[in-house]
Amino acid sequence: MRFRHRAAAAFATLLLPMAGAVGLASPAQAAAWGPPRSSVAESGGATATFTKTSDWGTGFGGQWTVKNTGTSAISSWTVEWDFPSGTKVTSAWDATVTNSGDHWTAKNVGWNGTIAPGASVSFGFNGSGPGSPSNCKLNGDSCDGTTVPGDAAPSAPGTPTASSVTDTSVKLGWSAATDDKGIKNYDVLRDGTKVATVTGTSYTDTGLTAGTDYSYTVRARDTADQTGPVSGAVKVHTTGGGTTPPPPGDKVKLGYFTEWGIYGRNYNVKNLVTSGSAAKITHINYAFGNVTGGKCAIGDSYADYDKAFTADQSVSGTADTWDQPLRGNFNQLRQLKAKYPHIKVLWSFGGWTWSGGFGEAAKNPAAFAQSCYDLVEDPRWADVFDGIDIDWEYPNACGLTCDTSGAAAFKNLMSALRAKFGSNNLVTAATTADGSAGGKIEAADYAGAAQYVDWYNVMTYDFFGAWDAKGPTAPHSPLTSYDGIPKAGFTTADALAKFKATGVPAKKLLIGIGFYGRGWTGVTQDAPGGTATGPASGTYEQGIEDYKVLKSSCPATGTVAGTAYAHCGSNWWSYDTPATIKSKMAWANSQGLGGAFFWEFSGDTSNGELVSAISDNL
């Protein structure tokens, strides 16, 4: 779709150091920055401190700092640590780094071995995988400056058990963790967020909401302040308050949630709860992950998994803390799924701006699928996602750029994704709605790929808009053709008919609804087909505006081809309303379609009236 581009993130990127790389692959070229994370306890004669300096989703930058806190010089140093399986160093500088399995060793190079009292030296590396170092040793002793070598982090406590469940509270108990130095305390996490720290092996959580699902885990901290892994999870449903809302029917009712909506739009996952929309949908597409270098990649690491939400912004009502395992939108989606277990979440990759990477991905579909699987199933957030959505605009055709990968490329890509993700994950795709003769539907083998996908999100909107600055004015999401339509085949009915004619089953086709309007200015004619002088003014972009704004600023004055339009002053807009959505859902039902989807949640009213129109009528 024309406007589905990623807003520029407010975080800088930089080139990682190239000089001094020692004996490993070249460092990654760019990294998205977020707040650095480090851990150290300083005491004794020397310390080694690790800091994660950057994180770009599939990898990270790390730095060790060795500090002489004693009274005599250190002549050489060796830092050792363990990484969890799947995490490794890919390049390093200012140290010689080697490994034996998951155990890593860094030794000083010739010029930086001597450290005077009070001085420090640092070396850096690039790593791949999600893990952080543990079991650190400096010259054979503890990295925190004590003289106890080999200090290990505590084990995971036993999975909690729940008892005495009421409307607003639950009692939790767990078996103790073990540690060579002894256990100091335990963190209790509700839906991934720390809610308490206790010294014993039980805790009563209060202030809960009646009739609500929660998930609890615990983790131990030893007397050296090392934190161990989290336990298994126990799910709790508080009494009273009715029951969890049932799944809203057997049709797919899917909405896109944009990662950048938490910035200028101030639209958070919690808004799905307060608007009532969460109870009325079945699926969420989280947009977007990037496609670059033939691989799936993080779109905005800060928004995705690092931003700390305040209590009033959070689904759980609890503020994020600096040391919790996962923050950002991913953690909020986890909390949403705990509250509404029927919702499935897919990670959508590509979109208008990031579709240029699919051509490279199509050259090696298996490698692309592996990269996507590794990212979606990253252990930090694997429980958040139920599958993957591909938004390639457009295979073997032109969008923001032109793709020449061939008609079979899309089928090959979807086949590889299904083979990798298997039958227990959803694999879907957003597709063109160009039903014209010789148009984009005919450019790729959508019918052949259909055997590998659960459904297609057919983007039945953005047919017409003010990129044609002089007009003619036309509804951007016509259901059917009408006299004077600027281009034949640019309708929902034509697109869906063409897909079905090629062999795509109707139940694998979803009708698309835009929660926004497209408009022109300099228009004197009420009916469609008028001339214009350019795009109408919009809040975020010229020629486009949210439904929640247009319903009051330029109310609908007529309908054409199943879509509302409005002429107010010199502006002319077209958009869907609850009434036109009702008629489109009735049409979708008559066609045997698998459901509906929409772009995107933040364009709706605060009480979710467009989501309600889809849910109530599909």
pLDDT at 226: 82
- 278 token code pair: 């969460």
Asked if 391 and 346 count as a contact pair (C-beta separation under 8 A), the reply is no
With beta carbons less than 8 A apart as the criterion, state whether 212 and 237 touch: yes
- pLDDT band (50, 70, 90) for residue 163: confident
232 and 256 together in one domain: no
The mean pLDDT of 208-217, rounded to a whole number, is 86
Of 142, 177, 198, the position where a domain reaches its end is: 142
Same domain, 286 and 351: yes
**What is the mean predicted confidence (pLDDT) over 186-200?**
91
The predicted structure's pLDDT at residue 43? 32
Give the total number of structural domains in the chain: 3
Domain co-membership, 382 together with 468:
yes
Same domain flag for 489 and 582: yes
Over range 112-138, report the average pLDDT.
87
Which pLDDT score, from 0 to 100, does residue 212 have? 84
Q: How many whole angstroms separate alpha carbon 129 and alpha carbon 347?
A: 19
- Kindly report which listed range (43-57, 379-393, 444-458) carries the lowest average pLDDT score: 43-57
Average pLDDT for 184-193: 91
Q: Is the pLDDT of residue 155 over 70?
A: yes
Same domain flag for 210 and 103: no
Q: Is the pLDDT of residue 470 over 60?
A: yes
Burial class (CB in 10 A: 0-12, 13-18, 19+), 422: exposed
Residue 24 pLDDT greater than 60, yes or no? no
Using CA atoms, how far apart are residues 138 and 80, in angstroms rounded to an integer? 7
Mean pLDDT throughout 570-584?
Answer: 97
Rounded distance between C-alpha atoms, residue 434 and residue 443, angstroms: 10
Domain assignment of residue 556, yes or no: no
Task: Using the Cα atoms of residue 605, residue 612, residue 287 and residue 514 in order, give the sign of their dihedral.
Answer: negative
Per-residue pLDDT at 166: 85
Which CATH number is 178's domain given? 2.60.40.10
Task: Tell which of 204, 237, 270 closes a domain.
Answer: 237
More confident position, 53 or 247: 53
> Which tokens go with 132?
């952080």
Q: What is the mean pLDDT of the chain?
A: 87
Residue 249 confidence class, pLDDT cut points 50, 70, 90: low
The reply to whether 565 falls in a domain is no
Dihedral class, residue 548 (left if φ above 0, else alpha if ψ from -120 to 50, else beta): alpha
pLDDT at 271: 96
Rounded alpha-carbon distances, angstroms, from residue 60 to 16, 88, 91, 107, 303: 10, 10, 11, 21, 16
More confident call, 240 vs 485? 485
121 and 184 in a single domain? The answer is no
Give the mean pLDDT of 409-436: 97
Q: How confident is the model at residue 8 (pLDDT cuts 50, 70, 90)?
A: very low
Q: Which domain holds residue 178?
A: 161-237
| 361, 502: one domain | yes
Q: What single letter denotes the amino acid at residue 94?
A: D
Q: Are residues 212 and 270 in the same domain?
A: no
Query: 460 and 364 in one domain?
Result: yes
- Tell me which of 102 and 33 has the higher pLDDT: 102
**Statement to judge: residues 394 and 480 lie in one domain:** yes
**Per-residue DSSP letter, 21:** B
Mind listing the pLDDT tens digit for each residue in 445-462? 999 999 999 999 999 999
What percentage of residues in the chain have a pLDDT greater than 90?
A: 67
Angstrom distance (rounded) from CA 250 to CA 588: 14
Residue 323 lies in a domain: no
CATH number at residue 267: 3.20.20.80
Of 99, 115, 142, which residue sits at a domain end?
142
Q: Assess whether pLDDT exceeds 80 at residue 542.
A: yes
How many CA within 13 A on the CB side of residue 81? 23
34 confidence band (pLDDT: 50, 70, 90): very low
SS3 542: coil
| Phi, psi values for residue 415, rounded to 5° | -60, -45
Q: Which residue has the higher pLDDT, 35 or 136?
A: 136
With bands split at pLDDT 50, 70 and 90, how would you rate the model's confidence at 246?
very low
User: Which tens digits make up the pLDDT trace of 65-111?
Assistant: 999 888 888 888 899 988 888 888 988 888 888 888 888 899 988 78
User: Quick check: 317 pLDDT over 60?
Assistant: yes
Q: Is the pLDDT of residue 209 over 60?
A: yes
Q: Measure the CA dihedral 243/249/251/256, to 10°.
A: -30
pLDDT cut 70: percent of the chain above it:
90
In a domain, 171, yes or no: yes
Rounded to whole angstroms, the Cα distance separating 444 from 395 reads 6
Assess whether 284 and 406 both reside in one domain. yes
pLDDT value, residue 444: 97
The catalytic residues are 393
Residue 248: what pLDDT?
54
pLDDT in tens, 338-383: 999 999 999 999 999 999 999 999 999 999 999 999 999 999 999 9
Same domain assignment for residues 189 and 277: no
Residue 313 has pLDDT above 80, yes or no: yes
